[in-house]
Amino acid sequence: MDVARKSVSAGASARMDSALNQSMMQLLDHVEYRLITGGEDLEAIYRLRYNSYRRSGMCGPIAGGMFEDRWDNLPNSYRFGVYFDGHLVSTLRLHHLTREHPYSPSVDAYPEILAERLARGETFIDGTRFATDPDLAPAPGVLPFLTLRICMVAYCYFRQTAMFIPIKLEHSAFYARFFSAKQMTEGKSFPGVIPPLALFEISGNEENFHRILDRLPFFRSTPMEQRLMFGNPAINRLTPLSIVPTAKFFRAAA
């Protein structure tokens, strides 16, 4: 009986994944990623952060209605806006952490996890300041996938030891299911936000890397897309660099 239940459950999960992949591939035709370093687009993602965080109770009132912090302009920082049919729908910031550039909010918040490993030469991606505008979502539940695809492009480019994401514990099931994320800390104070966040690690080993991409092929990307996103932070560029998702071209480019 248990074997039968597991088989039915696995079949249902596979059908859900197939429907998700088909839907996401279609949605990506309308998506544009922008690597943002200045100008009006930068103000727009700061406003989106603030509005999203205020709505969810992540932060209190901020004069000017924009949420930015001292980690935004670091040389190892990448700020992205996700645009659907030309409208900003979400934003995410990544820091590429190395022994030479060990700077990010998670390093400050969880030194007991990150400091020693960075000193040993491990490398990480730190994903923070994830914010969405649900009123502009093209369909329920898709914005996390459209946005976190940026993390998988970073995986393909940097091949880092692991990715770290500080999140509310109520979101842990999503990251565990799709990324095999493991909880590394209890919820604790995190810079700039009100609720406690726990640090979750997504392993960068080849087995986990390929498992995620095989299960969710819309996370795939060509080397050209990877280079456009992460080849040069160009922190002083005023005009954002626009990048079109390349998942549907991956098979032809491989």
pLDDT in tens, 85-100: 999 999 999 999 999 9
Supply the pLDDT for residue 231: 87
Euclidean distance between the first and final Cα of the chain, in Å?
A: 42
CATH class of the domain comprising 2-253: alpha beta
For residue 5, pLDDT beyond 90: no
Beta-carbon neighbour count of residue 237 at 10 Å? 14
pLDDT at 240 (0 to 100): 65
pLDDT band at 254 (very low <50, low <70, confident <90, very high): very low
How far is it, in rounded angstroms, from Cα 48 to Cα 135? 12
3-state SS class at 35: strand
The pLDDT of residue 252 = 44
Report yes or no: 123 and 160 within 8 Å, Cβ to Cβ: yes
Mean pLDDT of the chain: 90
* Cα(94)–Cα(9) distance, integer angstroms: 35
In this structure, how many other beta carbons lie within 10 angstroms of the beta carbon of residue 16?
A: 10
> Within 10 A of 89 (CB to CB), how many other CB atoms are there?
22
Interval 91-119 mean pLDDT = 97
**Helices and strands (H, E) in the chain, number of each type:** 9, 8
Residue 8: band (very low, low, confident or very high) from pLDDT cuts 50, 70, 90: very low
